[in-house]
Chains A and B, each alone.
Chain A
Amino acid sequence: MAEFEKLFALANAPYQRNDKRKFIAVFPMWFPYEILLAGGCRVAEWWGYDVPPTLADAHFPTYICTLVKSNFELLLSGRSEVDGAAFPIATCDSIQNSAGLFSHLFPGKFAAYFRMVQNPDSASAADYLRAEVKRLIAEVGAFIGRKIADAELRAAIKTANAFRQAARELLLTLKSGRTSLPAAQIYRALRGALTDVGPSTTKLLGDLTASLKVGPASGPRVMLVGMTAEPLDVLTAIEAAGAHIAGDDLGLGWRTMSVDAAESGDPAEALAQRLLHLPQCSSLHSQKQARGPYVVSRAKEVGANAVIFTRLKFCDPEAFDYPEIKCALDDAKIPNLLLERDLRDQAEGAVTTRVEAFLEQIG
């Protein structure tokens, strides 16, 4: 087994503890997990899994996305051995309310929440965000039983930056051409790496990138848009239909990997500044730029001539953005297709048919 196949193993068992570090499940997205890394914790960003929500169904209504439900299923089933969970509560109403629910269901475990500003254009946003970062540093410090030093935060920022850099290099191979490993495996590897953000997975991502052979791509160049492209059978269907996945605007993809924090100076300020300069995202808000033109420019950047939306059912942030992005893509004459699925979607056949028909149309 190649070394990097460890990433696939991590993707398959995100809940498994493999050492003595405090193990924190981080819900997506934009949680400044550098703070947890600085406290010596294992950071596992969980993007949902293909597990039946048998236990979670007792806690969540039918209209909550499978990302949230399946994460809770892992927690409730006892399979997970986490010491706590972290919630970036600006992501959506579901993740916002999950923070308190987690504390209720698991009273002995550590629950961290982080409130990303939702009015970054306000002059007061930077001050508040800085205070929020400092609050979180203090809370994580209380959890690990000691104060987190600035030097530890700086080291953690370096670690996270290196991880993101390795992820970007991996994703950029898709832009270059057809990779020797199917795109589905590349995204699966990234999901695996995110279950233990740090030097070891950074190396594995690097090894994977180095092992890839990149050949010329033919057929339509497709960009994926959404929170996650899972279930990944859609990627297989796209490639089987002769198209090439050239890049993405995915949460579990380029979007969250694209911006680093400054490695020198005040680390709290560096983390706050990173968060104030994130790319366009359905769960972030800015009056300065609508997401439609951003997605068009991102499609041009990766050389895509088609876009496939891989939207999770009940994902409000992406569902709100869709019509305007679609209009912007239509205006830019970029053909696009919406697939709305959940992580347990079993309708591979129907999806394959839709993808094939779409790609045939655009030739």
Chain B
Amino acid sequence: MSIKIKTTDKLKEMMMVYYLTAKNARHNNGKIAWITSGGPVELALAFGVTPIYPENHGAMVGATKMGGQLCAVAEGLGYSPDLCSYFRIDVGQAETHLGPIAGLPEPDVLICANNICKTVIKWYEIQARRYNVPLIMIDHPFMEHEIEEPAVKYVAAQLRDMAATLETVTGVKLDQDKLYQILMLSRDAIKLWERALETLRSKPTPMSSIDSFFHMAPIVTLRGEQRTVDYYQALVTELEERKAQGIAAVEGERHRLLFDNIPMWYATKFLYQTLAKHGAAVVTSTYTASWSMERDMTEGDPFEAMAWNYLAPYINRGFAKRLDILEGLIHKFECDGFLMHSARSCKAYSLGQYDLAEALTKRTGKQGVILEGDIADERAWSEGQAANRLEAYLEALDG
């Protein structure tokens, strides 16, 4: 039995406080912005809005195995069961106010960045019409290879438009000093998150990436706030201690794996336990590494720096770049293999994985396994089938 990460209790408390505050924002005359996970939240925070992440909520619903129920509500309204389950959950919660936190507080404005997929554009358009609120769209061109200057200029211009729209929505003028402070906090939190993930290079790893799927919640939902910096400082301290003491996330770690895609939230326990039986630990993932910062947003033009960083996520990059990133992670974290989740809901993440897997094996000599499932709709998951594939793969790794 592995020793629990103590900071997890803080995480639960922090997310509870976050959602409670968000739920009461209206009563305190606050404005609520729904925002995509790749959205420029720092700019929204500068206007004092409370950001809400329907994707994070979707993950929470998925983890509590309520995804199927809420998805079915959307399907009853005519939405295809083949559409993103985060989207269907969002429609379901808006209709019924069901879910682990009894639905999300209604938005005053929606902020959509399509640097994670095209689904979010349709999703936010639909919800903007439902709630009859403004939609701020930040179009991030797909970066097939390297980040291109015209795209940076285009995104930066839209961020300036966003600031103007938020001034109208909130009645607050953009305070550059406040934005700078927020960007600094965001930068610090991201750096700490990167440091936390770096500790997983240790052998044995002090934390599994499956745990980090949960610990990433604040970096997704609360970057730009002091409490997030404090949280990640605590996490880094604990992980460093665990590293120094040789505390393993998976006892008897023998195999180190990379995970690609958003996890199947309803089956993370299954995944952890099945892997642990074979001494396998997930030590890195493309998903948790998506919240990183290559350009310091506190230096130079903040709009251009934000634009650059928000064009950079793994999922906004083409096949060749993804392969380079995967290979880099395999080497950096000394992985013995990889596990890919082919997620029905997420074509943007999943299309190309078969060939990525093959090419990754060719480049690194490491074998992988692909499990088909879904991110939050547990009805699309067959645990028996997944167990068979995973066990066969792990036995091969065991030799």
Query: A residues engaging B (CB < 8 A)?
Result: 58-64, 89-90, 92-94, 96-101, 103-105, 113, 115, 117-119, 121-125, 127-128, 131-132, 135, 282, 285, 287, 290, 313-314, 316-317, 319-324, 326, 340
Cβ contact within 8 Å between A61 and B342? yes
B117 in contact (CB, < 8 A) = yes
B119 and A321 contacting across the interface, CB-CB below 8 Å: no
CB neighbours (8 Å) of B138 from chain A are 119
Known: A103-B319, A127-B154, A131-B150. A287 touches B128 (CB 8 A): yes
**Shortest distance between the CB of A135 and any CB in chain B (Å):** 8
Contacts of A135 in B (CB 8 A): 150
With A63-B347, A119-B137 known as contacts, the answer to whether A319 contacts B158 (CB < 8 A) is no
B119, B122, B138 — most chain A CB neighbours (10 Å): B122
Task: Map CB proximity to A onto B124-160 as digits: 1 under 8 Å, 0 otherwise.
Answer: 0110110000010111011010000011011001100
Assuming the contacts A96-B142, A104-B320, A115-B142, asked whether A64 and B137 have C-beta atoms less than 8 A apart, the reply is no
Q: How far is the CA of A128 from the CA of B148 in the complex (A)?
A: 11
With A59-B354, A115-B141, A290-B129 as known contacts, state yes or no: A326 contacts B78, CB within 8 Å: yes
For B123, what are the chain A residues with a Cβ–Cβ distance below 8 Å?
A: 320
In the complex, which residues of chain B have a beta carbon less than 8 angstroms from the beta carbon of A62?
Answer: 372
Is B299 engaged at the interface, CB distance under 8 Å to the other chain?
A: no
Q: Dominant SS at the B interface?
A: helix
Interface pair A322/B80, CB less than 8 Å apart:
yes
**Contact (Cβ within 8 A) B79 A122:** no
Question: Residue of A at shortest CB range from B87?
Answer: A320
In chain A, what residue has the closest Cβ to B316? A96
Closest chain A residue, CB of each to CB of B129: A290
Among the listed B126, B142, B354, which residue makes an inter-chain contact with A324, where contact means beta carbons less than 8 Å apart?
B126
| A-B residue pairs in contact (CB < 8 Å), sample of 6 | A59-B355, A113-B142, A119-B158, A128-B151, A313-B82, A319-B83
CB distance from A251 to the nearest CB of B (A): 15
Does any Cβ of A come within 8 Å of B5's Cβ? no
How far is B347's CA from A60's CA once the two chains are assembled, in angstroms? 10
> A63 and B158 in contact (CB under 8 A), knowing A128-B141, A316-B118?
no
The answer to whether A287 touches B125, judged by C-beta atoms less than 8 angstroms apart, is yes
Contact with A along B362-391 (1 / 0, CB 8 A): 000000000010000000000000000000
- Provide the B87-116 mask, 1 if CB < 8 A to any CB of A, else 0: 000000000000000000000000000100
User: What residues on A are CB-neighbors of B353 within 8 Å?
Assistant: 61
Could you list 4 further interchain pairs (A-B, Cβ under 8 angstroms) beyond the known A64-B347, A93-B118, A313-B82?
A122-B158, A128-B153, A285-B121, A285-B125
Question: Which single member of A96, A314, A321 contacts B82 (CB below 8 Å)?
Answer: A314
**B167 interface contact, C-beta 8 A:** no
- Interface presence of B352 (CB below 8 A): yes
Q: Does B161 contact A (CB under 8 A)?
A: yes
Q: In the complex, what residues of B have CB within 8 A of residue A115's CB?
A: 141-142
Contact (Cβ within 8 A) A105 B355? yes
A97 contacts B319, C-beta separation under 8 Å: yes
A326 vs B128: C-alpha distance when bound (angstroms)? 18
Question: Per a CB cutoff under 8 Å, which of B82, B125, B151, B348 touches A63?
Answer: B82
Is B347 touching A94 in the complex (CB atoms < 8 A)?
yes
Count contacts on B: residues with CB < 8 A to the other chain.
Answer: 50
Contacting pair A319 B347 (CB below 8 A): no
* Neighbouring A residues of B142 by C-beta, 8 Å: 89, 96, 113, 115
Closest to A57 in B: B354
Complexed CA–CA distance, A340 and B319 (Å): 30
Q: Which residues of A contact B352 (CB under 8 A)?
A: 97, 100-101
By Cβ-Cβ distance, the 8 closest A-B pairs, closest first, are A100-B319, A124-B157, A323-B78, A100-B318, A119-B139, A320-B122, A128-B154, A93-B348
B15 smallest CB distance to A (angstroms): 29
* Residue from B79, B117, B137 in contact with A323 in the complex, judged by beta carbons closer than 8 Å: B79
| B3 at interface, CB cutoff 8 A | no
Choose one: B77, B83, B144; the contact of A316 (CB below 8 Å).
B83
Judge if B351 is at the interface, Cβ distance under 8 Å. yes
User: Are B158 and A96 neighbours in the complex by a CB distance under 8 Å?
Assistant: no
Residue B392 lies at the interface, judged by CB distance under 8 Å to chain A: no
> With A319-B82, A321-B122 known to touch, is A113 a contact of B347 (CB < 8 Å)?
no
Q: Which residue of A lies closest to B138 (CB)?
A: A119
Q: Is the CB of B118 within 8 A of A92?
A: yes
* A61 and B354 contact, Cβ closer than 8 Å, known pairs A132-B150, A316-B83, A319-B82: yes
A124-B161, A316-B122 in contact; A61/B150 too (CB < 8 A)? no
Are A96 and B348 in contact, with the CB atoms below 8 A? yes
Interface centre among A100, A287, A290, by most chain B C-beta atoms within 10 angstroms, is: A100
Interchain CB contact under 8 A, B355 and A96: no
Report the bound CA distance from A139 to B158 in whole Å. Answer: 26
With contacts A121-B137, A124-B158, A128-B151 taken as known, whether A317 is within 8 angstroms of B122 at the C-beta atoms is yes
Task: Give A59 to B322 CA distance when docked, in angstroms.
Answer: 16
CB interface residues, B 317-342, toward A, < 8 Å: 318-323, 342
| A63–B80 alpha-carbon span in the complex (Å) | 12
- Closest approach, in angstroms, between the C-beta of A93 and any C-beta of chain B? 4
Residues of B within 8 A of A322 (CB): 78-80
In the complex, the chain B residue whose C-beta lies closest to that of A130 is: B150
| Max count, chain B CB within 10 A of own CB: residue among A89, A96, A323 | A96
CB distance from A282 to the nearest CB of B (A): 8
Given A118-B121, A285-B137, is A100 in contact with B80 using a C-beta cutoff of 8 Å? no
Nearest CB in chain B to that of A61: its residue: B342
**How many Å lie between the Cα of A61 and that of B341 in the bound state?**
11
B65 close to chain A: CB less than 8 A: no
Q: How far is the CA of A99 from the CA of B79 in the complex (A)?
A: 28
In whole angstroms, what is the CA distance A96 to B322 when docked? 14
Interface residues of B in 142-201 (CB under 8 A from A): 142, 144, 150-151, 153-154, 157-158, 161
Q: In the complex, what residues of A have CB within 8 A of residue B144's CB? A: 89, 99-100, 113
* B17 at interface, CB cutoff 8 A: no
The listed residue with most B CB atoms (<10 A of its CB), out of A59, A97, A105, A326, is A97
Q: B285 within 8 Å of A by Cβ? A: no
Q: With a 10 A CB-CB cut-off, give which of B122, B151, B351, B354 has the most chain A CB atoms.
A: B351
Contacts of A94 in B (CB 8 A): 347, 351
Note all chain B residues with C-beta closer than 8 A to A97: 318-319, 347-348, 351-352
Q: How far apart sit A148 and B222, CA to CA, in the bound complex (Å)? A: 49
Residue of A nearest to B151 (CB): A128
Chain A residues near B318 (CB, 8 Å)? 97, 99-100, 103
B350 in the interface (beta carbon within 8 A)? yes
Q: How far is the CA of A132 from the CA of B142 in the complex (A)?
A: 12
The chain A residue sitting closest to B134, CB to CB, is A287
A64 touches which of B77, B121, B351 (Cβ 8 Å): B351
Contacts of A124 in B (CB 8 A): 153-154, 157-158, 161
